[in-house]
Each structure stands twice: as structure tokens, then as C-alpha cells.
Structure 1
Amino acid sequence: MLTRQHWASRIPHAYDMALIDAVVDWTETTIHAIGERHRPDTHPLRSPAGLHAVQLAEYGAQALAVHAALLGDTGGRAGRLVSVRDMHLAVEYVDLSQGRLDVQAERIYVDDRGAQYLFKVEQQGRMLASGRVVVMYVAQ
């Protein structure tokens, strides 16, 4: 298992906005990451009502960023989330009492300009959200 220290310097997400805590497994095209800090009231994406499932797209995008950093795909360039498509929400809010979030992403396209990934977020084996994210790399 890889911890945040393995990639923190290679992605733009920091402090409370760094949502991925560890990488359980990864290959050339896939990543299985976990997020465990979604429960505190200080979570940057939580509203007074809780963590809305639509926010899980950011978990998918950050899994993409971590995967790209581990592979060296970005060439040191920052990426910008430009599209979230085919988002399916199985719940309205994340049940904060059910523990960690498992984030899985699969790269379906990459070139020197950006990448596209399918993602899903589960909690204790229950699907919470899925979709497709596209990131474009910023020219240097």
C-alpha cells in the first residue's frame, strides 16, 4: 500500500483538499485508492447536510491525478478537470458511519494533452457513484 507521501509532491491537491489517503493497488491502467477523511465537519466539500454524492466525482478525479503522477503521465504539468460525464448516483449523501471510501478508476484514454478515466466510488462494497472524468494538462 502506498501512502500520500509517495505522490503528494506531484499533484496539486493539498491540505484538507487532498482526498486520497492511500493506494491499495495500481497497474498501468487502473488504480484502487481509499479516502478515509470524509467524516470531519471540516471536510471542504461537505455542506451542513453532509457530503453529497455528487462530490464523489472529485474523488474520481483525484484518483486519476494520483494514478497519472505514479505513472509519470503528466510530464510534471498540472491538470485541470474539464468534464464529468455519465455520472450515476446510487445515494444522495454519503453515510459517514460506514467507513472508508474505495475509489477505483480505469484509464480509457491518455495522450500528451490529457486523460480520460472511468471511476466508481464504493463504501463497504456498496456502489455510491460512478462516472467518467476528463483532465487536460496545462501547457508549460
Structure 2
Amino acid sequence: MPMTRPMTRDELAGLIPHAGTMCLLDGVLAWDRSRIRCIARSHRAPDNPLRHAGRLAALCGVEYASQAMAVHGGLTSGGERPPAGYLASLRDLACHVARLDDIAEDLIIEAENLTGEGSRMIYGFSVTAGGRELLSGRAAVVIDAGGTDRGVA
């Protein structure tokens, strides 16, 4: 996967509607027209806003993947924040662990645009750590044609 240069958390935060601790990704490692690879450390943070009763369920990996997809959308559209995107469906979702907060290694989030352009896309995604797959699946994403900035990436 070609890489123009790694992106920092501050740079990628401008491409998604999430702010503060809700911006879960720490950087972009590589990307091209169809794929992106991101890194995250926030799964270990006690103040992670997705934690419930002190734990971060593996299903929260879907939000990490969603943010990677949103960043990819911004990068492939010239570095501008894309309109809000919504997860229309998830398919073939597989969780191989129960929790993310007890994973010592950094998370690597990969997403690939499998099909679609314009306002509807299907991405395949995976979340791994230390070479082990933690979560994977496919997501249908619909981009808000109205261009509002209020939704989930």
C-alpha cells in the first residue's frame, strides 16, 4: 500500500466529525485509493468514551473501523472532511475476543473499499493487534447527501 506519509492524530481528526476522546484513532500508517491502515492506542485509555463498567467490548472495534473509513473518505476526496456517513449494515462480523481494553499491543485498523462510489460504499475491515485478528467484517456505508455534520462516521 503506497503511503504519502504517516498522519498524526491531530491531522486525521480534521477528517472526521469526532472530537476529543471520541476521536479514537492515533494515526494513519498508510493509505491508497482503495485501502487505509490506521493505528490506535485509545483502547487502553481509562477515559475511552466507549467503555462501559470499565470495559471496552470487542464490538467497539466497529467504531474504530468506521472512523478509519471516514478518514479514508476524506483522504480520497482531496483531504477535505467528507459529509457524514452512516453504517447502513454490518455483514460477516466476527469477534475473536470479548474485550479490547485488555489488549496490550496497539490496534491496527484496516479498511478496504470493496465496491461503490458516490453515496454508497461497502468496506471490508479488520482490527488486529500483535498479528492477531480481533474483529473483522464488512460494512455498508451511506453518505449523507445533505452534507450535514451530525452523524456517525
TM over 0.5: yes
CA-based RMSD of the aligned residues comes to: 1.8
Q: 2:130 aligns with which of 124, 127, 140?
A: 124
Aligned equivalents of 2:127, 2:103: Cα separation in 1: 16
Counterpart residue number, 1:71: 76
More displaced 10-residue stretch of structure 1: 43-52 or 100-109: 43-52
Return 5+ residue gaps in structure 2 as ranges.
Answer: 1-5, 147-153
Is the Cα contact below 8 Å between 1:104 and 1:119 reproduced in 2?
Answer: yes
Using the TM superposition, give the Cα deviation of residue 96 of structure 1 relative to its aligned residue in structure 2, in angstroms: 2.8
* 3-state SS in 1 of match to 2:116: strand
Matches within 5 A, 1:1-140: 1-72=6-77, 76-140=82-146
More displaced 10-residue stretch of structure 1: 73-82 or 120-129: 73-82
| 1:32 alignment partner AA | R
Name the count of aligned residue pairs: 140
More strand by share: 1
| 2:122 alignment partner AA | Q
**Identity within the alignment, %:** 36
The list of structure 1 runs, each at least 4 consecutive aligned residues, that deviate by more than 6 angstroms after superposition, is none
Aligned equivalents of 2:130, 2:48: Cα separation in 1: 20
* 3-state SS in 2 of match to 1:38: helix
**CA deviations over 1:91-129 (Å, ceiling 9, x no partner):** 111253512100011110122112210000001111100
Is the Cα contact below 8 Å between 1:7 and 1:70 reproduced in 2?
Answer: no
TM-score between the two structures when normalised by the length of structure 1: 0.90
Aligned equivalents of 2:39, 2:76: Cα separation in 1: 18
Return 5+ residue gaps in structure 1 as ranges.
Answer: none
| 1:62 alignment partner AA | Q
Aligned equivalents of 2:60, 2:46: Cα separation in 1: 15
Using the TM superposition, give the Cα deviation of residue 75 of structure 1 relative to its aligned residue in structure 2, in angstroms: 7.9
Task: Provide closer, same or farther for how the CA distance between residues 55 and 78 of structure 1 changes in structure 2, counting only shifts above 3 A.
Answer: same
TM-score between the two structures when normalised by the length of structure 2: 0.83
Using the TM superposition, give the Cα deviation of residue 40 of structure 1 relative to its aligned residue in structure 2, in angstroms: 1.9
